[in-house]
Structure 1
Amino acid sequence: PGLGTDLCMFPNKDAVFFPEPVPGPDGRPSYAMLHRPMWDLGWIREGEIAHLPAGITDERPGIWISYVPVELVEADIRALARPQDHTCVALPMYPYEELKIGAGPPPVRIDEGWLLIHHGVTGEVPDAWDPTTQTVEYAAGAMVLDAADPSRVLARTDQPILTPETADERQGTVPNVVFPTAIEEVDGVRYVFYGMADAKIGVARLDRTP
Structure 2
Amino acid sequence: MTPSSAVTSTIPYVLQRIGIVMTPEPGNPLEAEGVLNPASGRAPDGTLYLLPRLVSDGNISRVGLAKLIIEDGVPVGVEREGVVLEPDRGWERGADHSGVEDPRTTYLAELGVHVMTYVAYGPLGPRAALAVSEDLRSWKRLGPLHFHYQDDLDTDLNLYPNKDVLVFPDTVTGPDGVESFAVLHRPMWDLSWIAPGAGEPLPAGITDPRPGIWISFVPAAAVRDDIRALTSLGGHRVLAMPEKEFEALKIGAGPAPIRVPEGWLVIHHGVTGELIEGTDQQPKVNYAAGALLLDGDDPTRVLARSEEPLLSPETADEKDGIVPNVVFPTAIETIGARTFVFYGMADSKIGVAELVRTDA
Answer yes or no: same fold by TM over 0.5.
Answer: yes
Unaligned runs of 5+ in 2: 1-149
Matches within 5 A, 1:91-170: 91-127=241-277, 129-130=278-279, 134-170=283-319
Question: After the TM superposition, which segments of 4 or more aligned residues of structure 1 sit over 3 Å from their partners?
Answer: 130-134
Report the Cα offset of residue 81 of structure 1.
1.5
Q: Which residue of 2 aligns with 1:12?
A: 162
Q: TM-score, normalised by structure 1?
A: 0.95
Q: Which has the higher contact order (CA 8 A, sep 6+)?
A: 2
Q: Could you give the per-residue CA deviations for residues 38-79 of structure 1, whole angstroms, max 9, x where no partner exists?
A: 011122233321111111110000000110001122233332
What CA deviation, in whole Å up to 9, does each residue of 1:88-146 have, x standing for no partner?
Answer: 1000001100110000000000110000000000111132x145774001000011001
Per-residue deviation, residues 147-171 of structure 1 (Å, max 9, x unmatched): 1110110000111110000000011
Q: 1:41 aligns with which of 187, 191, 196?
A: 191
Do structure 1's residue 60 and structure 2's residue 213 form an aligned pair? no
Larger Cα-atom Rg? 2
Identity of aligned residues (%): 60
- Measure, in 2, the Cα distance between the counterparts of 1:167 and 1:134: 15
- Three-state SS of the structure 2 residue aligned to 1:31 is strand
Q: Is the 8 A contact 2:281 2:323 kept in 1?
A: no
Measured in 1, the distance between the counterparts of 2:304 and 2:346 equals 28
Alignment of 1:162-201 (within 5 A): 162-201=311-350
TM-score normalized with structure 2 length: 0.56
What is the DSSP-based 3-state SS (H/G/I as helix, E as strand, rest coil) of the residue aligned with 2:153? coil
Task: Judging by fraction of residues, say which structure has more helix.
Answer: 1
Q: Which structure dedicates a bigger proportion of its chain to strand?
A: 2
Indicate the RMSD between aligned Cα atoms, in angstroms.
1.3
Count residues with an aligned counterpart. Answer: 209
Once residues 155 and 348 of structure 2 are traced to their aligned partners in structure 1, the CA distance between those partners, rounded to angstroms, is 37
Which ranges of structure 1 fall in alignment gaps of 5 or more residues?
none
**Contact kept? 2:323, 2:346, Cα under 8 Å:** yes
The aligned amino acid for 1:179 is F
2:281 & 2:165 partners in 1: Cα distance?
A: 26
Aligned residue type for 1:175: P
